[in-house]
Structure 1
Amino acid sequence: MALFRKRNKTSNAIENDKEGGSPANAEIKAKFKRETRTRRTTVGIVAFFYLLAIIFLILVEIGNTSDKPVLRDTYTFKLDLSNILPQSAPSGLTLQNSVARTLGLHDFYQVGLWNFCEGYNDDHGITKCSKPNFAFWFNPVKIILSELLSGASIALPSEVNDILNILRIAFHIMFGFFFGGLILDGVLLIITPIVLYSRWWSLPVGLLSGLSALVVVVGAILGTVIAYVFRAALNSQPDLGVDASLGAQMLAFQWIAAGFNLLAFIFHAGLGCCCTSRRDLRTGRKRGRGMQQAASPASTAS
């Protein structure tokens, strides 16, 4: 009961000074602001983490959608068919700069979340990017067979098709997680400042932050696994002459976004139990040094 009365006295003293417009009002406001400085700083850091995560998730989402700086190098994996080994070829072919060109194929194909781009290893670079599609999936077997010149054929093991079917499902899940994480981070960037006013807000916002971190981390794990499995599946077929490589920049962007989301969640969890909020000061639950000094004259007088 004594503690309850002490809190009420402190709270009433602060409210009376505010309502009365006394000279101490400005001083109390300044001290009030100073005592929540740690929480404000932490909230600002968390919001900055979300902003950075959003930037990198956007780069992940729009990577490889066009032949522009940064975007052209942001792909999940890349196939180099310049030295592909055909099972048969039509007669009368004109020998080009690479085997792939001779067969009617492009030298390389690189894959993003929305589309794929194709091109040549010389000065031409990327020559075409497919139209972005929400339900996109890159099937190299289908692409290769559709572009081969009439009469040419390539030996494609059935195991490759089985692996591609599994990867297709994982690819769509990964895309959904990154897209969902981007939306959640945008929401969290807007609502994060409300945890400054009360630690109670840290619970729902922290749960939402945990969900966002989870989906982005799982998306990054899936993206990494898909890229490595795809590379291993195609490079394990030496008779094809196909060289599959990872998109290091895409993987880096994915894990940087995941890291910032994890950091934001950790800071949110800390805000639930640490750092004085405005509500703590108003109710007297927590009193900083400055607030104790400001409230002591009022308590003595009462």
Structure 2
Amino acid sequence: MGKVGRFACIFVPMALTIASLLCLIIVFSGQTNQKMAVTNDLYFFKADTSDFTENPEEIEKLNNVNIDNELLKALKNSATAKDLKDFYKVGMWNYCEGETDDKGKETVTYCSPRKMYFWFNPINVWELKDTAAQKIFPDKLKDGLDIYQKVAKWMVSSYVIAICLTAAELVVGIFAIFSRWGSFVTTIVSTAQTIFILSAAATSTGLYGTLTGTFNTVLKPYKINASMSTKMLAVLWLGVAFSVASGFFWLVSTCCCSGKSSHKKVVVEKTPYTYERVASPYLGARPGDQQMHPMPAHGNTGSAYEPMRHQHV
């Protein structure tokens, strides 16, 4: 097959690795630029407060629930002071907030500074600290935020390790062009990358899914709705699929496509009718000539060789 065939054999896993890397980069870019609509649509968690109502009687009537007046008062004060925006979108490194017009169009007005181990704390963001609401926040929501804060560190670390291993997989994959040993090493790196990206994807999906459910349970009576971005989830799990597929094809390239030429040397055998020189009895044998055994003359038991014999009458 040769080197050309070897290159063709690893092209597929290399392309899949690049695709997985691009997906991770897109996930990392969510909410990092308030002027880019593409990145604004990528978020793990969104809190929509645009329909927040300040009338407790209306809340009780519509939702048939008991209202925590202290929490409602704190949220009302935050809304009056314009500290409560219409929406909050949470990415990996920061969050962005903004306003929603009458037609439902969202405009980002502020994005927080990027932070390594970022987690969204509504008490601080909504300016509820040093209020009664901070103390009387439902236990279910406080427990959910505590878990979110702790798990967020592991989640971010998994994403960082995954993207570093993906870059390493591309570099090591170049050596796979020349030998199957290179494919073997790349397969090991690819397996580690798959483990971390799968772990990060599962953790973020489960974590923000739980946080979304907790927000809706506790704050939906106040018409504060939480959700996750289907676009972010699609890009994230597509990157996982690319990672798993690349690992499989790296493994295949370890077993196949050696890169050695398949041409064999042709050995020409001598035909039974070719002429070969025999050794001369007078000049002696030459190196490589076939040796002839002398035949004894009639009546002579010696080893002398007589090419001709004359008889006298």
Shared fold per TM-score greater than 0.5: yes
Q: How far apart, CA to CA, are the structure 2 residues paired with 1:106 and 1:252?
A: 27
SS in 1 for 2:137: coil
The counterpart of 1:118, out of the listed 78, 92, 97, is 97
**Which structure exhibits the higher relative contact order, with contacts defined as CA atoms closer than 8 Å and separated by 6 or more residues?**
1
Q: Residues 70-124 of structure 1: CA distance to partner in whole angstroms, max 9, x if unpaired?
A: 111111110011233563577xx99xxxx94676410111100000011111256
Question: Which one has a larger percent helix, Structure 1 or Structure 2?
Answer: 1
The 1:211–1:166 alpha-carbon spacing in structure 2 relative to 1, beyond 3 Å, is same
The counterpart of 1:64, out of the listed 15, 31, 37, is 31
Whether 2:12 is the aligned partner of 1:45: answer yes
The 1:75–1:296 alpha-carbon spacing in structure 2 relative to 1, beyond 3 Å, is same
Q: CA deviation at 1:41?
A: 1.3
Greater alpha carbon shift after TM alignment, 207-216 vs 169-178: 169-178
Q: Residues 124-171 of structure 1: CA distance to partner in whole angstroms, max 9, x if unpaired?
A: 6111000111121111233223489x8999963121111111122222
Report the equivalent of 1:25: none
Q: CA deviation at 1:201?
A: 2.3
TM (normalized to structure 1)? 0.73
Q: CA deviation at 1:300?
A: 5.6
The percentage of aligned residue pairs carrying the same residue is 25
Q: How far apart, CA to CA, are the structure 2 residues paired with 1:268 and 1:169?
A: 35
The counterpart of 2:183, out of the listed 181, 187, 202, is 202
SS in 1 for 2:46: strand
SS in 2 for 1:296: coil
TM (normalized to structure 2)? 0.71
Unaligned runs of 5+ in 1: 1-33, 282-287
Whether 2:256 is the aligned partner of 1:274: answer yes
Report the equivalent of 1:229: 210
The 1:168–1:153 alpha-carbon spacing in structure 2 relative to 1, beyond 3 Å, is closer
Q: CA deviation at 1:200?
A: 2.0
Contact 2:21 2:166 in 1 (8 A): yes
AA paired with 1:275?
Answer: C
Report the equivalent of 2:199: 218
Q: CA deviation at 1:233?
A: 0.6
Contact 1:82 1:101 in 2 (8 A): no
Q: How far apart, CA to CA, are the structure 1 residues paired with 2:212 and 2:32?
A: 21
AA paired with 2:177?
Answer: L
Unaligned runs of 5+ in 2: 55-68, 271-313
Q: How far apart, CA to CA, are the structure 1 residues paired with 2:134 and 2:180?
A: 66
AA paired with 2:45?
Answer: F
AA paired with 2:7?
Answer: R
| Alignment coverage as a number of residue pairs | 248
Q: How well do the aligned residues superpose, as a CA RMSD in angstroms?
A: 2.8
The counterpart of 2:45, out of the listed 49, 58, 77, is 77
Contact 1:76 1:112 in 2 (8 A): yes
Q: CA deviation at 1:199?
A: 1.5
AA paired with 1:109?
Answer: Y
Whether 2:89 is the aligned partner of 1:106: answer no
AA paired with 1:75?
Answer: Y
Report the equivalent of 1:181: 162
The counterpart of 1:143, out of the listed 125, 129, 135, is 125
SS in 2 for 1:272: helix
AA paired with 1:59?
Answer: I
Report the equivalent of 1:3: none
Contact 2:47 2:87 in 1 (8 A): yes
Contact 2:119 2:148 in 1 (8 A): no
Q: CA deviation at 1:256?
A: 1.2
